[in-house]
Each structure stands twice: as C-alpha cells, then as structure tokens.
Chain A
Amino acid sequence: MALLPPAFLLLALLAGILPSGTGARAGTGLSVLGFLLSLAAVLARARPATLTLPLGPPSLPLHLALDALSAGFLVLVLASAACVITVEGHGADEPAAVRAGAACIAGVLLILLAGDGMTLAIGLAIACAAIWLDPAQPQPAALLIPLALLAATSLLTPAGFAPRFDTIRAAPPEVMEGTGGALLGVAGVGALIALPLGFRSPMRDALHAGMLLPAALFTLLRLVLDVSAAAGQPLWGEAMMLVGGVIAVCQGWIAGAARDVDVAAGALARCQAGLAMAGCGLALRCRLADLPAGAADALAGVLLLTMGGLAATLVTLASHRLAAGAGAYRLSRLGGLLGLMPATAAAASGGLLALSCVPSSLGFAAVWMLLRAVIAAPRTGGLPSQCVLALTAAAIAAAAALAATATLRLAGIVLLSRPRTPQAAAARDIRGPPRTVLMGLSGVVAAIGVLPIPALSLLARPVLQELAGTAAGFDGSAVGSGTGYQPLPVAALLGLCIGLALLVRFWRRREARPASAWLDGRQPPFGLPFGDPAAQAAGRGFVPAVPRLPLRLPRWPALPAWRWRLPQTGLWLILLGAAACLMVLAVGE
C-alpha cells in the first residue's frame, strides 16, 4: 500500500507524455489494485502496521500507518477512484484529467495512510492543489486548509514531541491547546467540505465528491475521535454538530435552488458530508458521556453517509454525462433524458434515490441512525447544550427534507418531461465501460441501502468497536439494537403493496385512447416545436426563499484605497514561514 502514493504521483508527472488511453488505464489499474489490497486488509482484519519513511528532517521523518479506520476508508475511496478514472479519464482532455486525478488520488492516499501531522498536511496539500489549482482558474485560498490542519495537529501534540498520532494518543493535550486544535481542525474540515470548486470540471467534481469528502470525514474522525478522544471536551462535539448542521442545511438549500445540474449534484454530496460531520459531533458527545450505544449509532450513521460517497460519485458522474449528451448544464435546457439516455438516466435515478432519504435507501438508513443517536445523546450540560442537540436534530430534519426535494427536482426536470431544446432531443446515451461502471455503482448503492448492516459489519465493525467502544446491535438484520429499522422487510412490504396496486390497476386492461403530446389543448407556438420554455417547469421555486432580514445595516465609511499591494508570492512566503515557525515551536519546546 505504501507504494501506491508514489506510483500515482509518478503517473501524474508522466500523464502528459503517455500515449492516449494509457494514462487512464494505468490509473484504473492502480486504483483497482489498491482497492483489492485494502479490501483484503479489511476482510482479513489485518493488524495495525506503521512505516517510517526516510523523508524529511531527522527529527521529523514521515510516518505511514494502516489500521481498521484507514483500511475501511481506503476501500471506499479507491472504489470511487477507479470509477471516476474509468468514466472521465478518457477524452480530448485526457492528460490534464489523468494528471489531476492521479495527483488527487496520491494526496488522498497520503491522508488516509498518514501517521503524523506532516504527512497528513502534505497529502492534503497535494489533494487540494489537484482539485482547486486549475490552470485556468486557480483558487490558492484552498491551500490554507492543509496549513490549518497542520496547525491543529501541532496544537494537539504535547510540547517537545513530533506531531505523530501515536504520541498524541499516549499523551493527550491540555484543555486549552486541545480545544484550540480541535476547533481549528473542525474549521479546516468544514472549509474542505463546503468550499466550492468555482469552475466546471467533471473529473475534479467527481474526485471531490468521491474522494476528498470521505478524506475530510476521515481527518475529522482521526484527529478528534481517535487520537485526542482522551482529552475530548463537550465543546468539540457541539462545534462539530453546529458546523455540520449549518453546512448540511446550506448545501441542501443550494442543491434545491442551483440552476446547473452539476452544481446541484455537488451540493447534494456536500450536504451528506455536513450531516456526517454533525454525526461525528454526536458520537463524541455520547462517547464522552460513556454512552457506547449512542456513539455506535452516530458512528454507524457517519460511516453509512461515507458509503453514500459512492452515490454522490455516481450522481456527479451521471450529471456530467447527461449534460454532455444534452449539450447544456442549465436545468431549464434539459428534459426528457429518461427516454433518450436510458442507461445513464437509470444510473442517475439509482444514485438520486440513495441520496433522497426515502425508506429503504442508503440516505434514510443514515438519517435514522443519526436521529437515534440524538435521542440516545446525554442530557447533560444544561440548557445551552440541550438547545444545541435540538438544533442538530432540526438541521438533520431540514437537510433530509431539502435533499428529498433536490432529488425530486433533478429527477423531474432533467430526466422526465419533454426535451426543451433540439440539442437535448438529439442526446445519445453513453456506451462501453463508463456505462457498465455507472450501472454497477447504481446496483452497489441500492444494495447497501437495503443491506446496511451487512455492509457495516463487513467494512466497519472494527472501526465501530475501536471508536465507539461497542459494535453490539449491528449483528442482526435490524439497524441498531432493540426495535430498529429493518430495511429489507420494509422494502419487501413496499414491493408487496405496490405490486398489489399494480395488479389491481392492470386487472382489466382497456385499450387507451391516444392523445397528442399537447393534451392541455394548447398547440406549441409557431417556431417552437419543443414548446415555449417559459411555460414549463424550469427547476426554480422548489425550495422556500431565504427570508430577507428586516434590518438595515449602517453604511460603512469608505476606507482609503490601498496604495500598495503585497505580491502574491510574498503572501504565501509569509504563510509558509508562519507554519514553519509553528512547527519549530511545537517540536523545539
């Protein structure tokens, strides 16, 4: 496994000179190899292992570590990576896509295998650079995130020691330093989740949804619930609950209001990640109060939402393919793609169903676990803490409702109705390996939705045991102990009821009288054979409008314009110097 990050980095460096198709095939092959290795490690319940790399200064060598937590995340991330490279790694822009993909995968692998804060920061820097430093529209502000998390790790490390995770486990930080580090970590991970790309790139969108978001959740679990849990404070959990809840609600609202299909799909993925962040906070609260059942429920919800990263990857890939086929990303210019691109539309429907939080879907199982953790959470800390818990429940409820509406909007406007433009009417379905990958992903997320417990038992049981202190209640078919949610019987009941209704409906078939496509009596206007776009639902008005604040803010006085500007290079030098000073202070005391 330790050879995979440098292999992907080498692939990124050579992407420009490899023959057409070779880079994508090499990337897919490496991802599949890594997936199989990590799956073998998970199934065999491999023992934790560490590796010290002869890189870096003598007092700060890099460390890699593989344990149950990282192995489980590696399986999900590498599966997403293989799918993304197969679908988006070919085409006219192949060298740039393979370069970005390979670099991002290398960075994420370093994050998941990191044994110390420096390796974690290097992995984050590579991954953030691959995602946000597009040559046409670079967003260098994203590189502040690795610095923030490096600073967080340094604060969590006891004075005089290198920022290794096993050092932090052995000697938990003091209250002030620990709280500072945890809050900085929460802020960094929150920024990693919520920061939008700002430009359109199918490969980067899919990598962000399928790899970077799970890596962000892994970072949070590693820093706050794993290495520094012994010094944990309720404030850390409350911060995660609030930040995660705000992200989930905001991204859910964006998913329901965005005008472009790829922006809506990306927002749905970030909404799930926000819910998972809130779940991490719930898990920490329960663990600190010695409530292993509640912590297990919350962590199970987090892990199910992380598995939902596969559904987010599927929806992102399918949305780009649908838009490419129809020639537009704007929702008001799509439509009727269910009949024109049936395979892609079916795969997209499977992914949207998994994210929609309806019974027997993956999203519903995760939300159920989180709400069960809410009712099992400790009732301590006074009224402010209880209000935070209630607000978290409200955020989960609002995010679930917004996600359901957003998926309805995407399915209804993009896949159903009539084509709104001639380009959409001429859409052709994808073929070959990308089609197989999308259909396979759709089947996998549907299977996880009706069988969440076997999926958790297979991939995450050691993680639950390690982080929550118990995995009891995840042995049977019901989610959670006692009278729980039983996805398979509920799906069977739904199938039975809908089947009975269909049987009754088609018992006495009668020949239907055909009518024209314009049943409402109005013929399409002259010159607009696809109908007047202004007369069809265009995807606006699905979510309640954000109320305007009745306050009128005072006008600030105009500040004098800066006469001089710091060169951008100088700004980065200052930031890097500050980070280096922080490291030296942390190590040298």
Chain B
Amino acid sequence: MSLLLALLAQALHVGLMLLAAPLLAGVESWLTGRLAGLRGTPPWQPMHEMARLWRKSPISQDNLTAVSAIAPAGELGLALAAAALVPSFATGMALSPLADLLVIAGLLAAGRLVPALAAFDLGTAPAGVRAQDAARLGVPAEAALILVVVALGLMAGGFGTDQVVTQQQDGLMQPAAALVVALAAMLALALAEASQPDPHELLFNGPDLAIALLAGWLRRLVWIDLISALFLPFGMSTVAAGPLGWLLGVLAWAAKLFFFLSGFAAVQTALGRIPRHSLPDLLGVAALLGLLAAIIVLASTSAV
C-alpha cells in the first residue's frame, strides 16, 4: 500500500510539474507586465505558443546530425528527470532513493550542455558564439552549485534530498548563518540562470522549438522548486499523510511558487534584466558565497 501511495504521489508530482512549467512562464510574464504598469500577457500564452509551434512544419538542414534531432527531447528528458527527483508537495515519493542533490546538480549541468551541442551541430556563427558564452558562464555556475550542495551536505551529513528537507523541517540544519549564505548563493544562481538569453529560438523550429521551450520552463521551475524545498520546506507533506495532506502540500507549494515568482518579477522590474557582462561577476559571487557557507559549517563544527 505504501508503495502504491508513493507511486501515486510520484505520478501526481510529475504531472503537476509538467502542467506548472508553462503556467509559471505565463504568470511570470504577466506579473512582470503588471508591475511595469502594463496589461500583461495572459498566463496561458505559453500554452498557445506551444500549440502553434506544434502545428508548424519543421525545417531541416542537410548538414545536421542525429544530435540536432535528439537534442530537444534530450533536454526535456534531462529536465524531466531532475523535476521528478526534486520534491514539491511531499517527501518519500517513489523516486526519493535516487533523489541525490549531486545527481540533481549534475542533471541541471547536463541540461545546459545539450543546447550547446545542438548549437555546434547547426554550425552557424551566432548560435556557436552564444553556446560558447553559455559554456563559459556554466563553469562558475556549476562550481557554485556543487559548493552549495557540499555545504548542505556538511550540515545534513549526506546528499539525500529527503534527508536535507526533513532536517530542515526539524530545524536541525545548523548553523543558520551558513544556511542564509547558501540561500543567497542559490538565489544568485537562479537569478543568473533566468537572466541568460534563451538560445532555443536560434537552434530549433516547429515542434522541436515547442519541446525545447517546455524544457527551458521546466528547468526554471526545478530551480525554484529546489530552493523552496531545501530552504523553505514549510507545508511539505509526506506520502503517508494521504490525499488530504497532499492537497495541503500542493496549496503550500503553489503559494511558495507564487511568492518566488512575485519576488523575481519585482527584482526584474526594479533592477531590470542583469546585463550580460555582469553575469560572470554574479556567478563568481555565488561561488564565493558557496565556499563561505562551507567554511562556516566546517569552522563551527570543528574541534581543535
């Protein structure tokens, strides 16, 4: 029975993530428009966009390899795998034994590599240069994410996602200063990820572009979900709590998502999109904050 509940919760979680990803993008652009004093695009606009792209005929080039054919599905598959491992409304789901923070970081890093490979396969100059820039920014981003994961692992004694979430809920993740610094690093990483230009329109067209856009939205949702699960797991239920507990968990999750979206939209409206030349500095700061969080944990728990 518990296995059945875990499987059901996992299926519900994956379905929610897939539904929420385009909705998240739509709500974010609507919020950004409203905060800027405009009418804002409807929240379901991304879904219309996906349907429109799905109906278009694809265009192929004779120099493309199987990499370009598989890249959109590969990117979506990697984002879907990461989304399946990050808990949203309940812990103890069917895939929780695989939910390791380093694995999730690795899947997010691999998801960044796939569009770059497609850009190189295309062979055009703008796509290649953009892929080079993205790869250069990926070095400090990936290092910073691993350092934050190490800091959380030092506090929790392991890399298991459910382990970290449960300890956070019980208030056992100490010291709090390291937690705050790690949260700052994660927010900086998420902001930098959101500020990078979307490369998909240069690479894909038609149905491939629809799949790649969905993959990009799902990645952004995974980032927000990861931050809320690791640092603000309030209201997260367990699989054993049953449907009522899950419903409360879903409501809490939706509230946290809206809170994060509002924060991001407010920051982008107030400060504008972060210029491209400042992104390396932001990512460097995130890496240093991750290192600082690790040093704080080690220094506070060390014995002379």
* Chain A residues packing against B (C-beta within 8 Å): 256, 335-336, 338-339, 356-359, 364, 367-368, 371-372, 374-375, 379-383, 385-387, 389-391, 393-394, 396-398, 400-402, 404-405, 408-409, 411-413, 416-418, 482-486, 489-490, 493-494, 497-502, 504-505, 508, 510-517, 519-520, 531, 535-537, 540-544
Tell me whether B131 is interfacial, beta carbon within 8 Å.
yes
CB distance from B182 to the nearest CB of A (A): 13
Which positions 5-53 of chain B face chain A at CB distance < 8 Å? none
Could you tell me if A375 and B139 are in contact, using CB atoms closer than 8 angstroms? Answer: no
Tell me whether B193 is interfacial, beta carbon within 8 Å.
no
A-B contact pairs, 10 of them (CB 8 A): A371-B149, A371-B159, A380-B304, A409-B135, A483-B160, A502-B73, A510-B57, A515-B59, A519-B122, A544-B140
Could you tell me if B78 and A494 are in contact, using CB atoms closer than 8 angstroms? Answer: yes
Tell me whether B242 is interfacial, beta carbon within 8 Å.
no
Tell me whether B2 is interfacial, beta carbon within 8 Å.
no
Cβ 8 A contact of B123, one of A393, A398, A418, A482: A418
How far, in angstroms, from A364 to B73 measured CA to CA in the complex?
22
Tell me whether B116 is interfacial, beta carbon within 8 Å.
yes
Could you tell me if B103 and A501 are in contact, using CB atoms closer than 8 angstroms? Answer: no
Tell me whether B107 is interfacial, beta carbon within 8 Å.
yes
Contact with A along B73-113 (1 / 0, CB 8 A): 11011101100100000000001011010110011011001
Cβ 8 A contact of B102, one of A371, A482, A543: A371
Which positions 140-162 of chain B face chain A at CB distance < 8 Å? 140-144, 146-147, 149-150, 153-154, 157-160
Residue of A nearest to B208 (CB): A505
Cβ 8 A contact of A416, one of B57, B120, B295: B120
Cβ 8 A contact of B142, one of A336, A338, A404, A418: A404
Q: Which residues of B contact A493 (CB under 8 A)?
A: 81, 84, 95, 98
Could you tell me if A394 and B77 are in contact, using CB atoms closer than 8 angstroms? Answer: no
* In the complex with contacts A501-B77, A504-B211, A537-B125 CB distance below 8 A: yes
Could you tell me if B302 and A408 are in contact, using CB atoms closer than 8 angstroms? Answer: no
CB distance from B105 to the nearest CB of A (A): 9
Q: Which residues of A contact B280 (CB under 8 A)?
A: 544
Could you tell me if A357 and B80 are in contact, using CB atoms closer than 8 angstroms? Answer: no
CB distance from B143 to the nearest CB of A (A): 4
Could you tell me if A359 and B63 are in contact, using CB atoms closer than 8 angstroms? Answer: no
The segment out of B64-72, B252-260, B264-272 that lies at the interface is B64-72
CB distance from A487 to the nearest CB of B (A): 9
Could you tell me if B124 and A519 are in contact, using CB atoms closer than 8 angstroms? Answer: yes
Find the residue from B59, B70, B107, B143 having the highest chain A CB count within 10 A.
Answer: B143
Q: Which residues of B contact A380 (CB under 8 A)?
A: 302-304
Could you tell me if A393 and B294 are in contact, using CB atoms closer than 8 angstroms? Answer: yes
Given contacts A505-B207, A505-B208, 13 further A-B contacts (CB under 8 A): A339-B65, A371-B149, A379-B298, A390-B291, A397-B143, A397-B150, A405-B138, A484-B100, A494-B77, A497-B84, A498-B78, A502-B77, A541-B133
How far, in angstroms, from A513 to B60 measured CA to CA in the complex?
6
* In the complex with contacts A505-B72, A517-B63, A536-B128, A500-B80 CB distance below 8 A: yes
Residue of A nearest to B67 (CB): A416
How far, in angstroms, from A541 to B84 measured CA to CA in the complex?
34
Q: Which residues of B contact A504 (CB under 8 A)?
A: 73, 211
Q: Which residues of B contact A540 (CB under 8 A)?
A: 132
Cβ 8 A contact of B109, one of A383, A390, A404: A404
Could you tell me if B125 and A379 are in contact, using CB atoms closer than 8 angstroms? Answer: no
How far, in angstroms, from A497 to B107 measured CA to CA in the complex?
12
Find the residue from B58, B73, B84, B301 having the highest chain A CB count within 10 A.
Answer: B73
CB distance from A286 to the nearest CB of B (A): 15
Could you tell me if B59 and A542 are in contact, using CB atoms closer than 8 angstroms? Answer: no
Could you tell me if B57 and A511 are in contact, using CB atoms closer than 8 angstroms? Answer: yes
Could you tell me if A542 and B298 are in contact, using CB atoms closer than 8 angstroms? Answer: no
Cβ 8 A contact of A401, one of B70, B142, B159, B163: B142
